[in-house]
Chains A and B, each alone.
Chain A
């Protein structure tokens, strides 16, 4: 950048949160299956992440009822869980889902944006434990509950 001529124009100010948000969204844009379903980033904290899935026709399992496929909600929660683990770790490690359970509590409202919020509540050297919910606007009235375990692929340490 040092070879650019100096400019007197004010630099666009992007606060840290907005820059992080752009970084995460760019990362998500690189995941083809999330693009297929229209899943985008929403918000995060130290050990949790929330992704969003605005309604789109390709998510529908049963057009007679307009019901979103449980598989689409599964994808949303699996991805939110992966993000929450990266946040809890404070670094990016390759992770693999060992098992993930979804309980589908009720159908989402028609054409609702479904949000998936996951929290990594326990990390060991090799395993991450995550729980979360999917909701359609009110986290206190979830549409699905999630519990999952994930394998952390930490780089091998040299053993003396």
Chain B
């Protein structure tokens, strides 16, 4: 199960790639974490561009969703027992244009339920205090039958 592979990577490694998710691989995403959080990093690539010289909003939304997913996974008590995790609603505010540089994102679980997890995620480039996009994400967890 992919979320299991991802959960084990996040449990065992401080940083690494997210190639187990093909879409994350297409965005060239990697993760880095410390004791507080997981950050997802998206290096600049031409394939991320929407309007000339700007990142496509969809690429930023994709980055925020993967950062949210990572936050849900590390909030689970047991990395060896993972539900299937699906976004149900995703609302993204775009605050500043995404320039052609590396972008970071991190999600914070605001409520961890057994079935619904609410996450606030932010993406930034030069300065964490100046986010370029933010997302509210609500994930549904499907637990395997016990």
How many residues of B sit at the interface, in one of the four size bands? 35 or more
- The listed residue with most A CB atoms (<10 A of its CB), out of B48, B51, B87, is B87
Counting residue pairs across A and B whose Cβ atoms lie within 8 Å, the total is: 124
Q: In whole angstroms, what is the CA distance A34 to B55 when docked? A: 11
CB-CB under 8 A from B46, the residues of chain A are 32
Contact with A96, one of B3, B22, B61, B94 (Cβ below 8 angstroms): B94
Contact with B23, one of A32, A60, A99 (Cβ below 8 angstroms): A60
Interchain CB contact under 8 A, B58 and A101: no
CB-CB under 8 A from B22, the residues of chain A are 57-61, 63
B63-96 to A contact mask, C-beta < 8 Å, 1/0: 1011000000000000000001011111111100
Q: Does B26 contact A (CB under 8 A)?
A: yes
Given the known interface contacts A98-B93, A104-B88, the answer about A71 and B50 at a Cβ–Cβ threshold of 8 Å is no
Q: In whole angstroms, what is the CA distance A34 to B51 when docked? A: 11
CB-CB under 8 A from A137, the residues of chain B are none
CB-CB under 8 A from A58, the residues of chain B are 22-23, 25-26
Interchain CB contact under 8 A, A71 and B89: no
Q: Which residues of B contact A (CB under 8 A)?
A: 1-3, 20-27, 46-51, 55-59, 61-63, 65-66, 84, 86-94, 97
- For the complex of A and B, the 3 pairs showing the least CB-CB separation, nearest first, are A75-B58, A71-B62, A69-B23
